[in-house]
Amino acid sequence: MPQQGGAGRDIAPATGKLGVMLVGLGAVSTTFIAGVENVRRGTALPIGSLTQMGTIRLGKRTDHRAPKIKEFLPLADLKDLAFTAWDAIPDDAYTAARKAGVLEPHHLEPIADFLKGITPLPAAFDRNYVKRLNGTHVKNAPTKRELAEELRQDIRDFKQRSGADRLVMIWAASTEVFLTPGPAHQSLAAFERAMECNDPAIAPSMLYAYAALMENVPFANGAPNLTVDIPALERLAEERRLPIGGKDFKTGQTMMKTVLAPAFKARMLGLAGWYSTNILGNRDGEVLDDPESFKTKEESKLGVLEYILQPDQYPELYGNVFHKVRINYYPPRGDNKEGWDNIDIFGWLGYPMQIKVDFLCRDSILAAPIVLDLALYFDLAQRARLSGIQEWLSFYFKSPQTAPGLYPEHDLFIQQTKLKNTLRWLKGEEQITHLGIEYYEKA
């Protein structure tokens, strides 16, 4: 018997195709697309994807109800996904995947024709925002407003060409230079005026987000750029009842940080310092070698500890933490990043201890399943008429967007609970509080 926790939401069925529009056809996007195609052909498993591999417990522990998430909710089926992308480099998905060097030939060669069929649309690109990239495959228009209109046309064309019923857009392009919200970002009217007069406050990523929302397409931001994290676009999303979210896929080092830091705090262990360094040699690493793009990433990576540890509430434990994050471009490693963490903690009576983490990860292998889950959940959110910032998807982001005045939740397991409770709520199932008193006080 299902335990009813409320009415749930009417969710429109996932009929027809879901078009996934990716901004950027680099390491992450090609690993995602090629991975989905391998899974569809039965040659690999979608490991790392909660929507594909995960289950959800429903009702009491004694009920033994734990369906797969993809069976519990009407998510789009992988066979119904269609892909397109924009990129400032003209390589098709096969060439881009080969250059990225993430997947081995046995995952690329059998699907080479499929990948070669995905050629990028010319990008709305401006080198002032990504200094280390020489984009040649770009749109030319006198104003940013006109660039946005061209992107809108691309969206309409793709929908028609692919026969997709629904679309989602995900930013998986390079990290842009650091921007802070300013007057041009405060209202839609100011934003549109700023596009018309080519205001530098309007970055290319914002044009994609604007175009998506104007075409009723949900938008998720996988990089730390400001992009859709501004009042003008947040309000546009609410008005048009569209889901948005970001920022920055939470994959390697930060994922570990949001697991370890909550553990220290749960046990009231102090933290003196956390030094995180990375070496990576892919194009993302090259772009992040530019101080202005690195600044955007640094802000995203640094915020995490402050919010989890709440130094205001625990000054003796976390009032004086030295936190440093470095990213070093080191070409021999390619996409295989190495992230080292040296963590200085202290315990009972202040005695110091150290923890060392050396994560030899594969950046895009960790990011690809996140792209898949976000595409499926943003589509679900739209069909369930969830609009504005999708905080329940914070699980996937390093720097989650939240409502104004609300601090972001970074603890991976609180984020997971929030995500699963949202899924239960959507279906009218009881929330799981983990109280469990009913198993003991039976009277």
Ligand X SMILES: NC(=O)c1ccc[n+]([C@@H]2O[C@H](COP(=O)([O-])OP(=O)(O)OC[C@H]3O[C@@H](n4cnc5c(N)ncnc54)[C@H](O)[C@@H]3O)[C@@H](O)[C@H]2O)c1
The contact set with ligand X (CB under 6 A) reads: 23-29, 86-89, 100, 123-125, 130, 133, 172-175, 204, 222-223, 248-249, 251-252, 282-284, 287, 363-364, 366-367
Closest separation between CB of residue 430 and ligand X, Å? 34
Closest separation between CB of residue 307 and ligand X, Å? 18
85/386 with CB nearer ligand X: 85
266/360 with CB nearer ligand X: 360
253/421 with CB nearer ligand X: 253
- The two beta strands, 270-280 and 338-346, are antiparallel
Pair of tokens at residue 399: 């720097």
User: For 417, how many CA atoms within 13 A lie in the half-sphere containing its CB?
Assistant: 9
Closest separation between CB of residue 150 and ligand X, Å? 12
What's the DSSP call for residue 271? E
Query: If DSSP codes are grouped into helix, strand and coil, which group holds residue 349?
Result: helix
Query: If DSSP codes are grouped into helix, strand and coil, which group holds residue 221?
Result: strand
CA distance 253 to 357: 9
Closest separation between CB of residue 412 and ligand X, Å? 15
Closest separation between CB of residue 332 and ligand X, Å? 17
Contact present, 48 and 195 (Cβ < 8 Å): no
CA distance 381 to 62: 30
Pair of tokens at residue 350: 């202040």
Query: Residue with CB nearest ligand X?
Result: 26
CA distance 378 to 390: 8
185/283 with CB nearer ligand X: 283
> Phi-psi category of 266—alpha, beta or left, where left has phi over 0 and alpha has psi -120 to 50?
alpha
Check the CA dihedral 294-296-299-300 and report its sign: negative
56/118 with CB nearer ligand X: 118
In 131-230, alpha helices (H): 144-162, 188-196, 204-214
User: For 295, how many CA atoms within 13 A lie in the half-sphere containing its CB?
Assistant: 12
Pair of tokens at residue 95: 């060439």
Query: If DSSP codes are grouped into helix, strand and coil, which group holds residue 109?
Result: helix
73/202 with CB nearer ligand X: 202
Closest separation between CB of residue 226 and ligand X, Å? 13
Kindly tell me the number of DSSP H helices and DSSP E strands found in the chain. 16, 11
339/388 with CB nearer ligand X: 339
Closest separation between CB of residue 72 and ligand X, Å? 28
57/99 with CB nearer ligand X: 99
Closest separation between CB of residue 91 and ligand X, Å? 8
